Amino acid sequence: MLARILPFVALCLITISASAQKPAILIKAGRLYDAEKNVFTNNQQVLIEGSKIKAVGPDLQVPAGTTVLDMPGATLTPGLIDAHTHLLLMQRASENLAVDAFLNSPERRVLRAASFARSYLESGFTAIRDLGNSGYYLDLEVASAINRGYIPGPKMWCSGPILSAIDGQFYQLPYADRVRVAEKEYRLIRGEEDAVQAVKEHVNNSVNVIKVVAFGERMGVTLAELKAIVKTAHEQHLPVTAHSTGGESLNMAIEAGVDGIEHAYYIADSLLAKMKRKGIYMVPTDPSFQSVIEAQKSQNITIFDTAGIRKELSPLSERLLRAHKAGVKIVAGSDAYTELQISRGDAAKQTIQAYVEEGLSAADALKAATINAAEALGQKGNMGVIKPGATADIAIFGGDLEKNFSKTLFNVSMVIKDGKIVYTKEK
């Protein structure tokens, strides 16, 4: 009996001595984006121990056995964060939003989401916030599979079903179908008491954020319902973010005290000032020039009206710069769900590219996708920054992101998540 136990004891001792020293990685980078100072610095070294960043500086002492990665031509950034995505949703550019839930089984949507999760990771994203259109809590299933190591992917913050008025966002369907299909995909709100109940259901299902569609196409939740949602969620320490493209629903959502506004395509200076005053962030889900081209290609368009596209995008740029100037916190979110010929991760990154096309600096665009997004996830100081004590989520780009932003952004060399190298570009 003892002979059978002894090898087991010996194995435990080896395991304990091996775990006493955490695996260490030293990255020597040509350039580093410092998200707290919002500047690029030169010739920095980053020491990772276990899942955390241990030290950052120009010349670090490292423990014996440290893996050294010498990358003089690379730029390091905190792992990118997409604060508005839909991993369980895909539709053609010309299709109704309801088609996916109508035609595709939950199993098919989950398996598809697994491939999107991998592509996000390989594009440099180490965290995403999934904001609904994910069946009934399928987002949490995918998040759980990633956390357990069954599939590769970024860390996920999930909303579960979107809270909305009874048309959901399926306004193009006939009324009877609209409610029936919306019921599968949204948590439809019927009054203040029901709004409180909906938030409680979501809390029981362990969501990380409440997403509410303040206004669909024909119907919106009322101000009283919005207030009940925000109050109940905040009592449970959950943030609330509201889909609102503009108009009265924007005013109502801000009045109700939401934490974030998604889209905000049309917004007056007076409301921007109010957002700034109340500390409400904006998630501009803006397309880049290239993503519009990709969407047109997916509809078999082969001749592009480039001047027309630029003209169509210019109002978005104008309002983004107004928001930035007003001091509203900009948080990057792609709203990527269209079926394109580029990977989902690269499609999501087009939004960060869009911010630069719209007139933000490379540093400001990265700020939106790192430190600001981390704050929206409730991870201030822990994620979205490369500094001692923070979680070691790092994206490494081949090239100089400050000088050559567009090309470098799409050239990911390596991704580190929780201190582990999870992606290395094939040579």
Contact 419, 393 (CB under 8 A): no
> In 3D, which of 376, 169, 384 has the Cα closest to residue 282?
376
- Shortest reach from residue 131's CB to Zn ion, in Å: 5
Of the pair 94, 204, the CB lying nearest Zn ion is at 94
User: Which residues, 6 or more positions from 113, have their beta carbon under 8 angstroms from its beta carbon?
Assistant: 87, 88, 134, 138, 142
- Shortest reach from residue 133's CB to Zn ion, in Å: 7
The b-or-e profile of 378-393 (16+ CB within 10 A means b, else e) is ebeeebbbbeeebbbb
Q: Which stretch binds Zn ion (CB under 5 A): 16-24, 156-164, 331-339, 391-399?
A: 331-339
Of the pair 335, 393, the CB lying nearest Zn ion is at 335
Q: Which stretch binds Zn ion (CB under 5 A): 140-148, 171-179, 334-342, 368-376?
A: 334-342
- Shortest reach from residue 400's CB to Zn ion, in Å: 32
The b-or-e profile of 263-299 (16+ CB within 10 A means b, else e) is bbeebeeebbebbbeeebbbbbbbbbbbbbbbbbebe
- Shortest reach from residue 5's CB to Zn ion, in Å: 57
Applying the rule CB under 5 A, the residues between 6 and 25 that interact with Zn ion are none
Of the pair 242, 409, the CB lying nearest Zn ion is at 242
Structure tokens at 133: 């259109």
Of the pair 335, 358, the CB lying nearest Zn ion is at 335
- Shortest reach from residue 165's CB to Zn ion, in Å: 16
Contact 395, 124 (CB under 8 A): yes
Contact 42, 403 (CB under 8 A): no
Structure tokens at 118: 């991998």
User: Which residues, 6 or more positions from 79, have their beta carbon under 8 angstroms from its beta carbon?
Assistant: 124, 125, 126, 127, 154, 370, 383, 393, 394, 395, 415, 416, 417
- Shortest reach from residue 357's CB to Zn ion, in Å: 21
Of the pair 213, 252, the CB lying nearest Zn ion is at 213
Of the pair 242, 313, the CB lying nearest Zn ion is at 242
- Cβ-closest residue to Zn ion? 335
Of the pair 337, 355, the CB lying nearest Zn ion is at 337
Q: Which stretch binds Zn ion (CB under 5 A): 16-24, 253-261, 320-328, 329-337?
A: 329-337
Of the pair 130, 358, the CB lying nearest Zn ion is at 130
The 8 Å CB, 24+ separation contacts for 388-392 are: 388/53, 388/54, 388/55, 388/56, 389/52, 389/53, 390/52, 390/53, 390/78, 391/51, 391/52, 391/53, 391/418, 391/419, 392/48, 392/51, 392/52, 392/53, 392/416, 392/418, 392/419
From residue 281 to residue 320, what is the string marking binding to Zn ion with x (rule CB under 5 A)? ----------------------------------------
Q: Which stretch binds Zn ion (CB under 5 A): 34-42, 46-54, 141-149, 335-343?
A: 335-343
- Shortest reach from residue 385's CB to Zn ion, in Å: 26
Q: Which stretch binds Zn ion (CB under 5 A): 26-34, 106-114, 327-335, 392-400?
A: 327-335
Applying the rule CB under 5 A, the residues between 206 and 265 that interact with Zn ion are none
Q: Please state, in angstroms and rounded to a whole number, the distance separating the CA atoms of residues 334 and 115.
A: 17
Of the pair 328, 336, the CB lying nearest Zn ion is at 336
335 binds Zn ion (CB under 5 A): yes
Residues forming contacts to Zn ion in the complex (CB under 5 A) are 335
